[in-house]
Every structure is written in C-alpha cells, then in structure tokens.
Chain A
C-alpha cells in the first residue's frame, strides 16, 4: 500500500508568492495532520482534520496560512503571501479510524525555501 503522499517534495519560491502544498492520506484514514518542522521550533502542529472537518487550527501561524480538505483523499496547505520565515519542512500525517489507533503515519515532507 502507498503511504502518505506529499507534493511537491521541494519548493523554492520568492517572498510574496503563493505556495500550495498537497497531501494524499493513506486510503481509509480519517484523520489528517499538517505539521511544520524547523531547527528552532521543532515539530509543530498547524492544523488537524477529522473526517474532513478542521478540528483544531490553533497552530496556524497567521492569516497567511490556510488549509482545506475537500474530500477524504486530499488536503492542501496554502501560504499567501509567503515569507522567508516560512522556510521549513512541512509534514502531513494521517491516522486510521478507531480509538485504538495510535500511530501517526507521516508523509515524506515538503521542504519549502522562501527567498
């Protein structure tokens, strides 16, 4: 089975440009998480969806960040306008349904560089 799929794997853009990151969770998983990882701040949760509904977006840094999950197999994280401080690795992770499910399955990440 395919794991969590993220695209692009690498993105280099200039300050002020719009950036869209994409995630396809593992089929059958119903919870999806977007994380950002930097050396300074570690792995931070940005937003969490359950059954396509945003449950907690308190980690979204500011209005420049938005996330959507139009269906169970696709989610996007958009940054508009991007800034150099947004440079980080962005991970998407998913979990299957059921309270016994503990493991978050991470995608390979998108390395974003904003010049």
Chain B
C-alpha cells in the first residue's frame, strides 16, 4: 500500500462546477496535510494546508480532513480553466518537522 494515494485521473469538470479531489494516507498518526498545485511543466506550489478534522476554506478552495477515515480532500468551487493542473496531496512524515510524502497527483481539467 502506498503511503499517500490519489486517483490519478484525469478528472474533467465543466467550468463553474465543483471539482472534488481525494487523498488517503496510510499512517494513522499523521498530523499535517497539504495540497500542492502543479501546472504542466512547472514546479509544485502550496495552495492549502490542514491540520485539524473538519473543513478549512480559502477563497474558492476548501480542504477537508477526516483523520478517523485517514482521508483528506480538496474542493474547488466555481472551477475555472485556469484551475487545470495536477494536484498533489502531501502528508508530513511522522517524527519529522520538515519531510513530506507526496501522492502521485490527480490531473484536473476544467472545460470551458
């Protein structure tokens, strides 16, 4: 079992719809979770972090965390073509203040 798993996609949604990206992790003791966005040919950039169960909203983005189910998700409301990218889920390695384990990413395409 991979430490961090994501559906690779591709996931296609029409412009204006809600895009839902999912991630599961294997270490029940994990405490810190991150979503990075990577445009084609570019480097990853952090868009959301979440540490507590529940929802965290930032503009059109909402991160959701359920530690009991070892599940973290990212919702993108009012999806725009500019949101088309690969979204990487990352989990901080237990016992490390700095190291992250990344999922393989979900490719999202927002259709105009």
Interface residues of A (CB under 8 A from B): 31, 33, 41-45, 48, 50, 56, 91, 95, 99, 102-104, 106-109
* A24 CB to nearest B CB, Å: 15
Task: Report whether A99 and B99 are in contact in the complex, using a CB–CB cutoff of 8 Å.
Answer: no
Count of A-B contacts judged by CB separation below 8 Å: 44
> Taking the complex as formed, is B25 at the interface, i.e. its CB lies under 8 A from any CB of chain A?
no
- Contact flag A104-B46 (CB < 8 Å), given A50-B98, A95-B98: yes
* Apart from A42-B105, A43-B44, A102-B49, 8 more pairs, CB < 8 Å: A33-B98, A42-B102, A45-B100, A48-B99, A56-B96, A91-B43, A102-B32, A104-B46
Kindly provide the distance from the CB of A57 to the nearest chain B CB, expressed in whole angstroms: 12
Q: How large is the interface on B (under 10, 10 to 19, 20 to 34, 35 or more residues)?
A: 10 to 19
- The distance from the CB of A113 to the nearest CB of chain B, in whole angstroms, is 15
Interface residues of B in 90-112 (CB under 8 A from A): 96-105
Prevailing SS type, chain A contact patch: strand
Q: Say yes or no for B34: interface residue by CB 8 A criterion.
A: yes
Give the secondary structure class of B's interface. Answer: loop
Are A42 and B97 in contact, CB atoms less than 8 angstroms apart? no
Q: Which of A99, A102, A106 contacts B45 (CB 8 A)?
A: A106
A104 contacts B100, C-beta separation under 8 Å: yes
C-alpha spacing A106/B88, complex, angstroms: 13
Chain B residue with the shortest CB-CB distance to A92: B43
Cα A36 to Cα B1 with chains together (Å): 20
- Let me know if A43 and B42 touch, CB within 8 A: no
Instruction: Decide: B43 and A42 in contact? CB cutoff 8 A.
Output: no
Interface centre among B34, B42, B100, B103 (most CB of A within 10 A): B100
**Residues of chain B lying within 8 A (CB to CB) of residue A31:** 98
Instruction: Report how far A108 CA is from B98 CA in the complex, Å.
Output: 20
- Given known A106-B45, A107-B43, contact A43–B102 (CB-CB < 8 A): yes
Q: Which residues of chain A are within 8 angstroms of B42 by Cβ–Cβ distance?
A: 108
In whole angstroms, how far apart are the Cα atoms of A78 and B98 in the complex? 23
Q: Known: A102-B49, A106-B44, A106-B45. Is A45-B101 also a contact (CB below 8 A)?
A: yes
